[in-house]
Amino acid sequence: MTSPPSQPVSHPELVTMANDIRLACMRISRRVRFESDQELAPHHFSVLARLEDAPRTNSELAEIERISAPSMKRTTTHLVEAGYVSRADDPLDGRQVILSLTEEGRAAVERVRRHRDEWMLDRFATLTEAELDLLQRASAVLGKVASK
């Protein structure tokens, strides 16, 4: 049995859907950051995750995170003092400092990710197989939307 052809979505319906999806994504993002992370503030975790990819300068991190250089300096100073990040002089430019994750920083990133995954998995446990299938398909579409 074939399903009937779907009707095109009207502009008002698209606006409503855009708003609903945006709000749901924001709520999930906020809850997973604040309810699952007791160890690190969300902005601290974000910086550690950026350093996981590669060592960076404060300026590079500030640009990536879209915050001021002085704010990033305060954040990275806290992370250095906490033992999550190390500083080294840039061999090519003595005015720059290169920031890298320490082993403790890498372990913290892994713990926070594990807590976030557990938080999401707890919510998935209440869903039906059909809902999980729908979410799996939607995640690919949302990934496409987010990458643009």
Interval 18-27: pLDDT, tens: 999 999 999 9
| Residue-level pLDDT at 2 | 53
DSSP state of 95: T
94 phi and psi angles, rounded to 5 deg: -60, -15
Boundaries of every domain in the chain: 13-146
Give the residue carrying structure tokens 């960076």.
56
Identify the CATH number of the domain defined by range 13-146: 1.10.10.10
Distance CA 88, CA 99 (A): 7
State the pTM of this model.
0.77
Cβ proximity of 51 and 99 under 8 Å: yes
The answer to whether 98 touches 59, Cβ cutoff 8 Å, is: no
Asked if 84 and 108 touch (Cβ cutoff 8 Å), the reply is yes
35 pLDDT higher than 60: yes
Angstrom distance (rounded) from CA 81 to CA 86: 9
pLDDT tens-digit readout, 121-141:
999 999 999 999 999 999 999
